[in-house]
Each structure stands twice: as structure tokens, then as C-alpha cells.
Amino acid sequence: MQRAAIILAAGISKRMNTKLAKVLHEVCGRPMLDYVIDAVRGAGVEKIYAVVGFGADTVKQRYAGSNDIEWIIQPEQKGTAHAVMCCRELMKDFTGQTLVLCGDGPLICAETLKTLIDKHNAEHASATLATAVLDDPTGYGRIVRDAYGNIQAICEHNNCTPEQLKIREVNPSYYLFDNTVLFDFASKVRLDKAKGEYYLTDVLAMIIESGHKVIAITALRPEEAISVNSREQLSDAGKIMQRRIQKNLMENGVTIVDPPNTWIDARARIGQDTVIEPFTCIYGEVVIGSNCRIGPFGYLRDGANIGDNVVLEANIEHRVKE
């Protein structure tokens, strides 16, 4: 089965107060869009359609040379269903499966997308969405199920009844569709006159009402549901990603003496039995060999290449040689 992905990356984040495209804001040294693209590729997707708008030229330039990405311009940001419809002409002959994800969700994992795909195939569904259960679901659309556990609707937070507001299962907007079904129904979505947008959740509602099989699986860890719409949320995502980076390094033989007081770029490579002392910052594409000791209060710049058995003592700033 062939698979494509539509990544929605056109939005303007007024809350971030920025001139930079939101998806290019960095999480642990890499644009948040990088992580979404990596997850999609890791799930076996062969073609990516990235919908861009605000800062489109800058985003496209950042990924120049990525041959599996097709760039789609959304000239006006009229909602998620409208963004998907911008891909219709290029995808009209595609009969496989299409993931639809948001480019501002950097904490999604390839394994989660694989679970979504596997469940979609096993259930022979027309549409499948991955959900999360949150302690505080405020602001998220709630997953409304019937007595048998079948999804009946996605109710946006502001439209929920008092009873629905108690639902903790939410929709973080990770979808898999049969492509033909997706565009058949996306073309029928009506404008939400109050907000002036076309919503992808309305596509799902119509697919459910038509009798097609739609399933919702609780596949996301709560942290994967986080989308970045403010500088505070960007910081929160960075803290979670930093824990992932350090956990992976420690599992591969690196000692990090004081993880909360250490910062390591996602692009850094560190060898076995190296010790990272507290208050160390490793920024950029840094390579550190095996059996080294870095810090405390060490700072390594982008491009630093440290061999094996090296000790960089306190307050040493390693400069890249010209």
C-alpha cells in the first residue's frame, strides 16, 4: 500500500509574536517541522506534501534538496480542510493512504504513526485518528463514543455540553485516510461562517455520517499531543525533547551527571563512556568521542569535533578552528 502525508505548516502564530514561520522555530536546535518530517519518514511514507503559507519561501529554502517533499502554497489561511484541498490537484490520482498531520507538533513519534497505520489496515477503515487521554483536556476537541466504544463525533471544546467537558480523550489532529475518501468529503465541507474557515473535523463528521468505517485509537502519549502555539509551549516542548535526547544518550553509554542542568542539541553525537558534567551546553552539530569528560560549565559550539579521551575542564569554550 502506498502512503503519502500532508503536513499542515501554513499557519501564522499571532501568540508567538514572530516574523519567522512558526514551524521553523527550534526545539533543541532543530526546527519543529524537522521532527514531524522525521516521524513521517520513519513510518514509511514515500511522499510528503507540505502546505505552507506565511514565510513559505524561508521554509522551502530550509528544506531545499529534500526530494520527497512537494510544496503546496495555501495563499489564504482558511482552515485545515482548506489546506488539505490545496493538495487536491496534485493528489487526485493517488489511491493509497494519506496521513494528515500538523507541522507544529514536534513531539510525535514514528512508532505512534506506525501503530495508527497498522490499526487502520487491520480494521479496513476509511479513516483513523490517533487520540490521547489528558489530565487537563481544556481547549481540545473531545472524542465522543457510543456505548460500544465507536467514535460518534469530535466535539470542539467551546461546543461541549457540561457532560462532554468531562471527557478526557481528545483529538490532537493525527489522521490517516484512504485518499479517495478524504478528498471526496473534503470537497463537500461547508464554511464555518463564524470563523471563516473550513475544518477537517467536519470531514470526519461527514465520513462517519455516510456510514464509512471510522475508528479512533488511544495511541498517543500525553506529551505527543502538545502543539506549539506560544513561546511558553515552545519551551515546554523543548524540555520534553531534551529529556528524550538525554535518555537516548544515557541508554547508549553516556553519563550525564545532572540532566536538569545540562542542555544538549538534538544534532550532537557523543561517544560511549563520556561524562557530561553539570551546567554544560552542547550546541549544534557537535561530535564528542569516547571516554571524554566535558565540564562542568562547559560550552561547545556548533561544529566542534572532540576526539577520544579528551578532558575539557570548567569554563572552557571550545572554538571551531578556522
For the annotated catalytic residues, the residue numbers are: 15
Q: How many Cα atoms within 13 Å fall on the side-chain side of residue 211?
A: 0
User: Which 3 state secondary structure label does DSSP give 104?
Assistant: coil
Dist. CA 74–CA 9, nearest whole Å: 9
Is there a contact between 263 and 253 (Cβ–Cβ < 8 Å)?
A: no
Query: Is the backbone peptide bond immediately before 296 cis, with ω within 30 degrees of 0?
Result: yes
Classify residue 148 by its DSSP letter.
T
Is there a contact between 105 and 111 (Cβ–Cβ < 8 Å)?
A: no
- List Cβ<8 Å contacts ≥24 apart for 146-149: none
User: Which of 9, 242, 248 shows the shortest CA–CA distance to 105?
Assistant: 9
All three cell numbers of 287, joined, read 561530535
Dist. CA 240–CA 264, nearest whole Å: 12
String of DSSP letters for 103-155:
TT-TT--HHHHHHHHHHHHHHT-SEEEEEEE-S--TTSEEEEE-TTS-EEEEE
All three cell numbers of 269, joined, read 553525537
